[in-house]
Chains A and B, each alone.
Chain A
Amino acid sequence: MNVTRGVGIGLLIAFGSIAVAAPLLTPYDPGRSFADYPYAPPMRPHVVANDGWHAPFVYPLRLVDRLERRYQEDRTVRMPLRWCHAGTLVRVDDGPSPWFLLGSDALGRDVLSRLALGARLSLGVSAAAAILTLLIGAAIGAGAAVLRGLADDLLMRTADLVIVLPTIYVVLALRSALPLVLSSIQVAIAMVAVLGLVGWPTVARGVRTIVSTEASQEYAEAARAAGASRWRILRRHLLPATRGFVLAQAGVLLPTFVLAEATLSFVGLGFPAPAPSWGAMLQDAASVRALLDAPWLLAPAFAIVATVLAVHLAITAPTEQEAGTGFRLVSH
């Protein structure tokens, strides 16, 4: 294992842990809105005050001009950071102002808290969709390879058809068959299903090729000669041979799906308003006014890029020679 790959995998594990432990890491409830702090800028921790060094603290913010949304740091008060306190990793005591490490959005909600909880929705949906896609793809690919003949032809022609479709338009068309307004859970299930339906053909093609090549190898023949049934050979001998390919595909699918979730939520067909998915959060940033006033609303964009980059590092570094397989991963 080389260094880049280790870094990529480490980052992915870190993001996964953040998603799982989100409520323990973030200071506020992601839905909690501080009405007096719309578009509050990020508040960085300080260690130096006028009277010398202190443990990390933040200065409270005060809204100076509500119309222009101008804020000022109140340098007279220090709000010390409290570690592992009141059920979260780090927070400040309720004092003159809340603490927004990454700023707040239009409704005065903490961007950091929303970002961390958004990781749950975005990464959760993408991971589930990737797993579903791999399962469907592996089942269809293996089925086609084992059944051969007409079933094989039919399945692979279907795969060819689905592969050339413009992905995002298919996802949109499938999404359009569902009611526009759904609850978060319904959206999550619908998205996983839709993405799984669109993504399987590449996996199926690869698995079919590998399974049918491996089936003609001596070890498979030996198993057959020893009286093993077709399904046993498939399960014990042939499918394990696809492991490398399936893992590589997982790395291709995950970033694609993170982005698909973001795009769908961004255009308003994904997670509904209060849910802090990364795409839904980006929607808040997608106006010139918001971008100029509150560029920190782009935080989810960096989360998405970091995720994609981590996956790239984890999968592409060791396989530069065979990079040809990874090229569907960009931008859906």
Chain B
Amino acid sequence: MQRTFLRFVLRRAVAAVVLVFVVASAALLLAQAAPGDYSARDFQRDPAALAAERHRLGLDRPFAEQYATWLRRVVTLDLGESFRYRRPVLALVRERAANTALLAAVALALATLAGVPAGLLTGSRRGGLLIAIVRALSAIFLSIPPLITSLLLLLVAARTGWFPIGGLDAPDPGTSWTDILAQAARHVALPALALALPFGALIERIQSQALREALARPLAIAALARGIPRRRVIAVHAWRLSLGPLLAVYSVIVGALFSGSFAVEIVSVWPGLGRLMIDAIVARDTYLVAGCAAAGALFIAIAVFLADVAHAAADPRLETVRS
């Protein structure tokens, strides 16, 4: 067991490294293939200064050579330097990726905390007004993508002043960490809620479906037939059975969450990876584009891995070496 698990982890790690590398290379290649480069943003410069700038940035060399240099550095985890910020790409990406991870994690936690109980409620095969309301809400939220929930919440925030608008500023030096935490919590509220609403609805749907399927299994029917209360059958048996299908789609949810967080970041001015990548693309900051793409791929790889481990833990019948 220990060994198969280790093999599974290793294989996943190798696959993740390959994925990240391929994505970063492809992004670099694509960004490079686009007409124009970073130096071209300044139209009024005289040609000599422009040439000097291009030489300084290494943009005058053939692409194969630039790529080779980049490759050599990547091995030592040096992703090059951003043209625009004049800082190492790795440091920039790490900062912003942490913000995106915070946003995604809070949103996922909120969505799970709301979605799972709601799904257990609606999947319990009972009727009633509450269940009808939850179902209707979920159907509505499922149809409102994060881009729009964040715009609507922005409107609410602007009208009521309930949440601060705009991203997270770097904390002043000397602020206590509790203050930093409180500030972060206040600022993450709007984007996290915007992201959590559709995903909470999605989780509700999956949980509801999974529980209904679990309740239709012979063991649940047998338990109900013996007169064990439905509540107890759900709490003890059916819920556990329904965990499998839910966790199986978690990896997909995390991927979608990550894509959704992009739109939310843009609307709510959250200083995350999405904003960074857009700016990098527009500025033709090629190494930064590649770095952001690599970070995105790494995120997905880690998230899928965690979801698979959780799935295997919840359902011992699953062979961890399955993929």
Contacts and interface: CB of A to CB of B under 8 A. Distances in A.
Interface of A: 161, 164-169, 172-180, 255, 259, 262-263, 266-269, 282, 285-286, 288, 291-292, 295, 298, 301, 304-305, 308-309, 312, 320, 323-324, 327-328, 330-332
Given A267-B278, A268-B282, A173 B147 contact: no
A301 B245 CA distance: 32
Interface of B: 19, 22-23, 26-27, 30-31, 33-36, 139-140, 142-148, 151-152, 154-155, 158-159, 165, 198-199, 202, 205-206, 209, 245, 249, 252-253, 255-260, 262-263, 266-267, 274, 277-278, 281-282, 289, 292-293, 296-297, 299-301, 304
Contact of A166 (B151, B253, B259): B259
B31 A263 contact: no
Contacts of B31: 173, 176-177
Contacts of A263: 147, 262-263
25 contacts: A161-B22, A166-B259, A166-B297, A167-B259, A169-B297, A176-B281, A177-B30, A179-B35, A180-B36, A180-B282, A259-B145, A263-B147, A266-B266, A269-B281, A282-B147, A286-B151, A286-B154, A286-B267, A288-B154, A304-B145, A324-B209, A327-B202, A327-B253, A331-B146, A331-B260
Given A298-B155, A330-B199, A173 B301 contact: no
Given A263-B147, A282-B147, A298-B152, A169 B19 contact: no
Contacts of B144: 305, 308
A301 B259 contact: no
Contacts of A291: 151, 154-155, 158
Given A167-B255, A331-B198, A176 B34 contact: yes
B281 A175 contact: yes
Given A288-B158, A327-B253, 15 more contacts: A164-B19, A168-B262, A169-B259, A173-B289, A176-B31, A177-B31, A177-B34, A178-B34, A266-B147, A288-B154, A288-B165, A292-B155, A309-B139, A320-B209, A331-B147
B301 A324 contact: no
Given A169-B277, A308-B143, A292 B198 contact: no
Given A164-B304, A172-B281, A263-B262, A292 B159 contact: yes
- A-B interface, 3 closest residue pairs, ranked by CB to CB distance from nearest: A331-B260, A177-B30, A309-B143
Contacts of B262: 168-169, 263
A298 B144 CA distance: 13
Interface residues of chain B: helix, strand, loop or mixed (majority): helix
Contacts of A301: 148, 151-152
Contacts of A327: 202, 205-206, 249, 252-253
B8 to A, nearest CB: 16
A39 B253 CA distance: 39
Contacts of A262: 147
Nearest to A168: B259
Contacts of A269: 278, 281-282
A232 to B, nearest CB: 36
Contacts of A180: 36, 282
A165 B143 contact: no
